[in-house]
Amino acid sequence: MEKIAICPGSFDPVTLGHIDIIRRASKMFDKVIVAVLVNPSKQPSFSIQERIDFLNEATKGIDNLEIVSFDGLLASYAKEKSAVAVVKGLRAVSDFEYEFQMALTNKKLNPELETIFLTTSSQHMYLSSSMVKQVASFGGDISDFVPACLYEKIYNRLKGVN
């Protein structure tokens, strides 16, 4: 049976840290669904369609991916897609409480679903979408943070927005 995993997130915008996790997950599973989901505690800067387009562009060449959006519970979506695992990157201790809470909630809602945490590569330890947004909004260089093919699009949209 095909083993399907989901890499969920806001991806607002996608960072090199996300791409690293997606690439590594794609080697572990037959198919990876990258799901752009709604995080009700975050105010997005990019539309869902923009985030999907960015992900499609930045993951060209990874064949076993499907990029989607879903406006509902991750646990239900995983069941609908017969996914066996959620794969997330864990950066630092500060991520742990929030991620652990989500993993336990998802397990309660869908007991068949496992959450797997991949240790973020050391060069991406500090990276987050919110940091990218803040640095770009003040005109800082984000070229080490986002995929090169998206740099201009992301930077031009965020520059001066604060």
Q: Is 110 in the site for ligand PNS (CB under 6 A)?
A: no
Report in angstroms how near the CB of residue 52 gets to ligand PNS at its nearest: 14
The residue among 1 and 16 lying less far from ligand PNS, judged by its C-beta, is: 16
The one catalytic residue among 51, 88, 91, 124: 91
The one catalytic residue among 3, 42, 60, 108: 42
Residue of the chain from 74, 127, 132, 142 that contacts ligand PNS (CB under 6 A): 74
Residue of the chain from 4, 5, 7, 9 that contacts ligand PNS (CB under 6 A): 9
Report in angstroms how near the CB of residue 95 gets to ligand PNS at its nearest: 9
Give the per-residue SS3 of the chain. CCCEEEEEECCCCCCHHHHHHHHHHHHHCCEEEEEEECCCCCCCCCCHHHHHHHHHHHCCCCCCEEEEEECCCHHHHHHHCCCCEEEEEECCHHHHHHHHHHHHHHHHHCCCCEEEEEECCHHHCCCCHHHHHHHHHCCCCCCCCCCHHHHHHHHHHHCCCC
Query: Does residue 124 carry a catalytic annotation?
Result: no
Query: What does the per-residue mask of binding to ligand PNS show for 29-68, with x meaning CB under 6 A?
Result: --------xxx--x--------------------------
